[in-house]
Amino acid sequence: MTEKDTDDTAGTWFDERDWELGAEDVAEAIEEASSPPPVVAVVGRPNVGKSTLVNRILGRREAVVQDVPGVTRDRVSYDANWLGQRFMVQDTGGWEPDAKGLQQLVAEQASVAMRTADAIILVVDAIVGATSADEAAAKLLQRSGKPVFLAANKVDTERGEADAAALWSLGLGQPHPVSAMHGRGVADLLDAVIEDLPTTSEVAAGSGGPRRVALVGKPNVGKSSLLNR
């Protein structure tokens, strides 16, 4: 293999066909960057089952789940798909009003997720019912102007649906009774979310920010030298 056959800084192409495949990959990446998928933020106070719901939406275990509050501290995004609609789902730490110290930082990350999402799922523990933290979150979300979906979690059986109905008091419309642990009702929730989601993210499209430029070319044509200039 000669020096012209490889370029350590840009990968390796051995013939024209490999180069064409590389160009297709670059074009796909550019198109994806210019049309980012919509973002769905999953928010709520600590230990209501947000990460469990995220895993259920993904259909796989990605978000860390433990039966103690405060496990999730940073917002984390995952690529998801429902009925052919691609979107990003954001898992967030527990949101609490008037939080202090570390919990304040966690709450701030959840607030950022609310602002940068195209739609929001507020998760509430239907067994516990609406708390003051849930009410504060609901008031904040009512002012967001974004589609908000109320997931009444831990409704494992039909008998628990009465607990979910009581959450109408939060003023966010129809509560969606779900069991994130067992999957009950999650499909209906996702159907409702997808119906209100844009095809591409309206938030990301209007957020501005730095532009990314891909520098591409065949091996040994001086890409790295041009970049260094």
pLDDT tens for 16-43 read: 555 455 555 655 555 555 689 999 999 9
| One domain, residues 78 and 175 | yes
Terminus-to-terminus CA distance in the chain, angstroms?
A: 28
Claim to verify: residue 99 and residue 185 sit in the same structural domain: yes
Q: Would you say residue 87 lies in a domain?
A: yes
User: Is residue 204 situated within a structural domain?
Assistant: no
75 and 148 part of one domain? yes
Both 159 and 83 in a single domain? yes
Q: Which domain covers residue 80, as residue numbers?
A: 39-199
Give the chain's domain count: 2
Token pair for 157: 């059986």
Q: Are residues 101 and 146 in the same domain?
A: yes
Angle at 40 between CA 208 and CA 42, to 5 degrees: 125
Q: What is the pTM of this model?
A: 0.70
Angle separating helix axes 50-58 and 186-196, nearest 10 degrees:
80
pLDDT of residue 220: 73
pLDDT in tens, 49-69: 998 999 999 998 886 554 444
Q: Could you tell me which of 42, 206, 50, 47 has the C-alpha nearest to residue 113?
A: 42
Burial of 159 (0-12, 13-18, 19+ CB in 10 A): exposed
74 and 180 share a domain?
Answer: yes
* Residue whose C-alpha is closest to residue 224's, from 2, 3, 6, 9: 9
Query: What is residue 8's DSSP assignment?
Result: T
44 with 30, same domain: the answer is no
Q: What is the CATH number of the domain that holds 191?
A: 3.40.50.300
Query: Which tokens go with 200?
Result: 């591409």
pLDDT of 123-149, one tens digit each?
Answer: 999 999 999 888 888 888 888 889 999
Residue 73 lies in a domain: yes
Count how many residues are written for the chain: 229
E strand or H helix at 43: strand 39-43
**Do residues 96 and 107 make contact, with C-beta atoms less than 8 angstroms apart?**
yes
Q: Do 64 and 99 belong together in one domain?
A: yes
Q: Residues 8, 87: one domain?
A: no
Within this chain, do residues 145 and 193 fall inside the same structural domain, yes or no?
yes
Q: What is the Cα–Cα distance from 89 to 42, expressed in whole angstroms?
A: 7
